[in-house]
Amino acid sequence: MAERTEIAEVGEFGLIERIRAITDVRTGDENLHANLLRGISDDAAVYRPTPGKVQLLTTDAFVEGIHFDLTFTSLHHLGWKIVAASLSDIAAMGGTPRYALVSLTLPKKISVEMVEELYEGAVYAAKKYGCLIIGGDTTTTHANMTLAVTMTGEADETRVIPRSGAQPGDYLCVSGHLGASAAGLKILQREKERYQNHTVDAPFVPNLEPYKEALEKHLMPKPRLDLVPLLTQSVSVHAMIDISDGLASEVHHICNASGTGALVYEHNLPVEHSTARIAEELSERVIDYALFGGEEYELLFALSEAEYKKLEDLTPDVTIIGRVQSREQGVELVGEQGDHSLLPFRGWDHFRTKA
């Protein structure tokens, strides 16, 4: 049985000490440490920006029951994931992550050890990508757990990649593969349902082994910071966004910000075999996973044909999925048969009631 210490036993300040011990790690980047002048335990963190760089700032909130389900998400994975989401935002701007704040509102069911596990996951992700967690805020709540990550990053001003620079004629590309995170979530939800419905006669063993790739993509997504040097220094990218709400919705964001339309070719969407197999097993359309599945944390970007040709020599991990066209031509999906339809502007918009 895991140890369980109530947060009330150690108090807010005791909890902060535990968190401080976990976040006090060394990264390989000595500058990151040398330029952090004040971290946890002052009224604000203080750091020196790198001269000549612009500062990036992003924040994301995660709500239990909306963004995550603790019945099938370990706190270690959750910590990883919330930090990965912010790292992905920094990547999408063409930046390098630097410092992060992680804040928690904690219901009574969460113990000190659970908070530690969450921070360990958060620190694991941060450290892997050269980011330091330097503070945050912890508070109690009578209701569900909510988490927030704020992250700073840096970039050369001339190399920041906005959403708004796509030009008609550009290729639309994505990194990696699509749909796996959604597939992983579907499997976890199915196993949860099986668990809830299982009879007491036999012990319940979730059947997860055959779905490893999708589960890992869902539970420990990798922000694509590895591609940032290529996309900012080796080629010129016009517009970029990360895929957090689903490809379809991100294409619309780029088009709205750029004042363009786009064509997305269904048969070009890169989907792994393991993802397609899950969709088939669940009698769902893998294209829906690829278009509307959120939490991919891959990059979607627009660049000219000439720049793409440079890029394809440098990495195999990028796929053309469409073209940018004029706003008047709209945002369309081209089906397997060459048929055009409007690309729905929907992703994982949790405010809308489901149709």
- Give least dist CB 198 to a second copy, A: 26
Q: Which is nearer to a second copy, 76 or 98 (CB)?
A: 98
Using CB under 8 A, which residues numbered 1 to 40 contact a second copy? 7-8, 10-13, 15, 37-38
Burial code (b: 16+ CB inside 10 Å, e: under 16) for 51-83 equals: eebbebebebebebeebbeeebbebbbbbbbbb
Span of 124-132, 146-154, 285-293, 317-325 interacting with a second copy by CB under 8 A = 146-154
Q: Which is nearer to a second copy, 150 or 275 (CB)?
A: 150
Count Cβ atoms below 10 Å from residue 334 Cβ, excluding itself.
Answer: 18
Q: Which is nearer to a second copy, 33 or 340 (CB)?
A: 33
DSSP assignment of 249-268 equals HHHHHHHHHHTEEEEEEGGG
- Give least dist CB 201 to a second copy, A: 33
The span from the CA of 10 to the CA of 12, in Å, is: 7
Contact (Cβ atoms closer than 8 angstroms) between residue 170 and residue 302: yes
- Give least dist CB 51 to a second copy, A: 7
Distances (CA, A) of 276 to 54, 177, 180, 214, 334: 41, 11, 9, 10, 19
- Give least dist CB 150 to a second copy, A: 4
- Give least dist CB 251 to a second copy, A: 14
Torsional class of 176: left (φ above 0), alpha (ψ -120 to 50), beta (otherwise): left
- Give least dist CB 338 to a second copy, A: 30
Residues contacting 303, CB < 8 A, separation 6+: 170, 171, 173, 235, 236, 237, 238, 311
Tell me if 321 contacts a second copy by CB under 8 A: no
Identified binder of a second copy from the candidate list 75, 81, 95, 127, rule CB under 8 A: 95
DSSP assignment of 91-132 equals HHTT-EEEEEEEEEEE-TT--HHHHHHHHHHHHHHHHHTT-E
- Give least dist CB 7 to a second copy, A: 5
Span of 74-82, 136-144, 216-224, 275-283 interacting with a second copy by CB under 8 A = 136-144
Identified binder of a second copy from the candidate list 103, 189, 234, 329, rule CB under 8 A: 103
Q: Which is nearer to a second copy, 58 or 260 (CB)?
A: 58
Contact (Cβ atoms closer than 8 angstroms) between residue 68 and residue 78: yes
Distances (CA, A) of 335 to 294, 325, 332: 21, 17, 10
Using CB under 8 A, which residues numbered 42 to 71 contact a second copy? 42-49, 51, 54-63, 65-67
Tell me if 92 contacts a second copy by CB under 8 A: yes
Using CB under 8 A, which residues numbered 148 to 177 contact a second copy? 148, 150-153, 155, 157, 160, 162-164
Between 205 and 244, how does the x/- string for binding to a second copy read (CB under 8 A)?
------------------------------------xx--
Tell me if 260 contacts a second copy by CB under 8 A: no
- Give least dist CB 353 to a second copy, A: 5
Residues contacting 29, CB < 8 A, separation 6+: 130
